[in-house]
Structure 1
Amino acid sequence: MRSIKQKLAATLCCMLLLSGCGPLKIANTKGAGEPAPGTSSATSTPKETRPSDPVRTQGASSKETVPATKPEKTPKTQVTPPVKTKPLTGPKATGQTKPSPKESGDYGALSNEGDGWSYGYPTEWVREYDGYWQLTPGKLYLTMDLGYEMGFTEEILNTLREKNVKVTFFLTTEYLEERPDLVLRMLREGHKIGSHSTKHIPMTKLVGTDGAKLIENTRTWERAYKELTGQTSQLYRAPEGVFSKRGLAVLKDLGYRNIFWGAAYADWLEQQPTVEEAKKKLYPFVDSGDIVLLHPFQTNAKLLPEFIDHFRAKGYAFELIP
């Protein structure tokens, strides 16, 4: 009995020794951390990634990929610089330009400082506002201003008819209303008429900042002239020869040409000069192409025939302002 127990104990010890020495294959351990083929990855724990760690995909390279061919450069758009042109201020201005004073009703940016016209020292900038004092060389352009009737206009018209000379008369609204007979005779005999304002008020006193009073003054003259004659005129002579950039701009925007003069003398004075005195004051200052200003007063009524003959003899032709 004892011998049987001893044999069993020895056998058990041998079995225990054998079980602790050999490796036991329980699972495939190749690629630790990766799931075995055919098993799910749900239970595997991926490596933790931090925001600064780049996450690479299969086939990705840490180096910047350089394309096999250089991309074509996109050509720069050629921008043609705008052609600078002088801005228009009249009613013919078109396109997307700054509105003219007439359109905007704002003339405040232009100076209203009054200037007095001097034929000896013409103000060149008036050309910007359709201002004229000389026209075609070889010709003379006789003009007369009438704010009121002095009693010599009929005599002057008779002389002009005899000499076949045409004159541009600048009349006020008051003259149109007071002497319609003479106005209509002027037109019948081929003369021209322009505006000398409504009441002979200088434009600098009317224009304001928006031009409204000067515009209305001019429209009043236009209505009176159209009602009497059925005609219109786009010629303007500044009362007293006083003007400003602002006033001229308003008139230009209304379509007028501002007519000054290249020769004149103080013929409107109550103390009238003699004919010989007038010749000395006027003749030396008459140049080719001049617009000549006279007032239909006593001395000029006597001077006119000799004036026409004198300058015709010098080769000048008398023409109307176009």
Structure 2
Amino acid sequence: MKKMYRIGSGLLCAGLLCYSLIPSEGLKYLWKRRSRRKSKTYGTEKRLYLTFDDGPSREYTGQLLNLLKQYQIKASFFVVAEFARENEELIKKMREEGHLIGIHSIRHENALLRGRKFVRRDMKEAVLTMEKMGCKIHYYRPPWGHLNLWTLYYLRRMNLKLTFWDVMAHDWSAKETEATIERKLLKRVFPGAVICLHDGRGEAGAPMRTIEALKRALPILIKQGYSFERMDVYEG
């Protein structure tokens, strides 16, 4: 009986690994390898790709957009569709100012161990919500970078491009300050890097610390010769 239980547990673990953990971690690994190859090939083109998750936020996203406009930077926003529906004026501002808009689920729920019906509903509802606001959606970033085999199936069915990141500053954490976020960004970037930051959610007013860190980091990066592009340039 114990032997059968161990076998059953082992099969269950193997199934979970194949269903979600291996696709999630394997694809992130392949993404970072591709980015490093790009950086070696196009190292003289000092491009960076600023991306923002978890918004839009009524409190913070407008301030971030104003900062990006000040430096004439085009970024990519992976929005939580439910938050976008509550802040349609911010989505309009993103579009008018030339930013790319992708989806980051409908309610920021983890798909790691969820089934087909959840994944289909989550992705389809998010896309339809944004299309009603005039956004043609081509890019998807999964919450926490977690996905499963059904996610890959529906990405293909819906003709969406999966997007991860190369540089993370853990800016959602209450442990991070403006100075530590700035320091991580400046230390970790490389030509061709996709930077993941957050303009919504987070702990203890985290997005404001991100904005303040960018106020300090952007002039330095620009002085170092970096330019900023949208994710569709990266994929192109």
* TM beyond 0.5: yes
Normalized per residue, which structure has more helix?
A: 2
Residue matched to 1:180: 88
Residue matched to 2:70: 162
Residue matched to 1:226: 131
Cα separation, 2, equivalents of 1:273 and 1:303: 10
Q: What are the within-5 Å matches in structure 2 for residues 156-305 of structure 1?
A: 156-206=64-114, 208=115, 211-229=116-134, 231-269=135-173, 271=174, 273-296=176-199, 297-305=207-215
Cα separation, partners in 2 of 1:278 and 1:177, compared to 1, 3 Å:
same
Q: What SS does the aligned partner of 1:194 have?
A: strand
Give 1:112 deviation, angstroms: 1.6
TM-score (norm 1): 0.57
Cα separation, 1, equivalents of 2:23 and 2:56: 21
Give 1:196 deviation, angstroms: 0.3
**TM-align CA RMSD:** 2.9
Give 1:163 deviation, angstroms: 0.4
Cα separation, 1, equivalents of 2:59 and 2:35: 28
Cα separation, 2, equivalents of 1:140 and 1:246: 31
TM-score (norm 2): 0.76
Residue matched to 1:112: 19
Give 1:239 deviation, angstroms: 0.5
> Does residue 29 of structure 2 align to residue 123 of structure 1?
yes
After superposing on structure 2, the runs of 4+ consecutive aligned residues of structure 1 that deviate more than 3 Å are 115-118, 131-137
Q: What SS does the aligned partner of 1:112 have?
A: helix
Give 1:200 deviation, angstroms: 0.8
Q: Which has the higher contact order (CA 8 A, sep 6+)?
A: 2
Q: How many residues get paired? A: 204
Cα separation, 2, equivalents of 1:133 and 1:259: 12
Greater CA radius of gyration, 1 or 2?
Answer: 1
Q: What are the within-5 Å matches in structure 2 for residues 20-169 of structure 1?
A: 111-114=18-21, 122-124=28-30, 137=42, 138-147=46-55, 149=57, 151-169=59-77
Cα separation, partners in 2 of 1:228 and 1:212, compared to 1, 3 Å:
same
Give 1:268 deviation, angstroms: 0.7
Cα separation, partners in 2 of 1:150 and 1:273, compared to 1, 3 Å:
farther
Q: Is the 8 A contact 1:172 1:195 kept in 2?
A: yes
Q: Is the 8 A contact 1:202 1:239 kept in 2?
A: yes
Instruction: For structure 1, list consecutive stretches of 5 or more residues without a partner in the other structure.
Output: 1-107
Cα separation, partners in 2 of 1:307 and 1:256, compared to 1, 3 Å:
same
Cα separation, 1, equivalents of 2:185 and 2:23: 19
Q: What SS does the aligned partner of 2:51 have?
A: strand
Cα separation, 1, equivalents of 2:144 and 2:193: 19
| 1:5-24 per-position Cα deviation (integer Å, ceiling 9, x unaligned) | xxxxxxxxxxxxxxxxxxxx
AA of the residue aligned to 2:226: Y
Q: Is the 8 A contact 1:144 1:294 kept in 2?
A: yes
Q: Is the 8 A contact 1:272 1:299 kept in 2?
A: no
Instruction: For structure 2, list consecutive stretches of 5 or more residues without a partner in the other structure.
Output: 1-14, 200-206
Identity of aligned residues (%): 25
Cα separation, partners in 2 of 1:148 and 1:182, compared to 1, 3 Å:
closer
Q: Is the 8 A contact 1:143 1:170 kept in 2?
A: yes
Give 1:151 deviation, angstroms: 1.4
Cα separation, partners in 2 of 1:234 and 1:316, compared to 1, 3 Å:
same
Cα separation, 2, equivalents of 1:132 and 1:180: 35
Give 1:245 deviation, angstroms: 4.4
